[in-house]
Amino acid sequence: MALLITDECINCDVCEPECPNGAISQGEEIYEINPDKCTECVGHYDTAQCVEVCPIDCIIPHPGIRESRDELMRKYERLAAQS
Ligand code: SF4
Ligand code: SF4
């Protein structure tokens, strides 16, 4: 699944530069994750880098987007082919 930033986000900007897929950006009120680009860091790291650095733990599994590790790996490969 992709990850989701909840409205508890304090806009600290720590997560955005850590994302290897450029999936995080500042939205109108809080930071947002583009689910088309979030691979849960599969293909790059063993753990979700944004979750590691968020000081208030407001990044959670997206409740509406469930993907297997294989699907996340295929998304990583698609993104890598585009870059
Ligand atoms: Fe980016 Fe990884 Fe966080 Fe997804 S889990 S938004 S790919 S840092
Ligand atoms: Fe928001 Fe957490 Fe990212 Fe900071 S690290 S901008 S609090 S989601």
What is the chain's mean pLDDT, rounded? Answer: 96
Mean pLDDT calculated for residue range 70-82: 96
Task: Please report, for the domain that includes residue 76, its CATH number.
Answer: 3.30.70.20
Range of the domain at 70: 3-82
pTM of the model as a whole: 0.95
Closest residue by CA, ligand 2 atom 3: 15
- The angle at the Cα of 34, spanning 31 to 38, to the nearest 5 degrees, equals 110
Give the mutation target among 8, 10, 19, 50 for probing the ligand 2 site: most ligand atoms within 8 A of CB: 10
| pLDDT tens digits, one per residue of 40-59 | 999 999 999 999 999 999 99
From atom 3 of ligand 1, which residue's Cα is the shortest distance away?
50
- Number of structural domains (the chain) is 1
Query: Which residue has the CA at smallest separation from atom 5 of ligand 2?
Result: 54
Centre of ligand 1 to C-alpha 17, Å, is 10
pLDDT number for residue 83:
74
| Residue range 9-29: mean pLDDT, rounded | 98
pLDDT of 1: 67
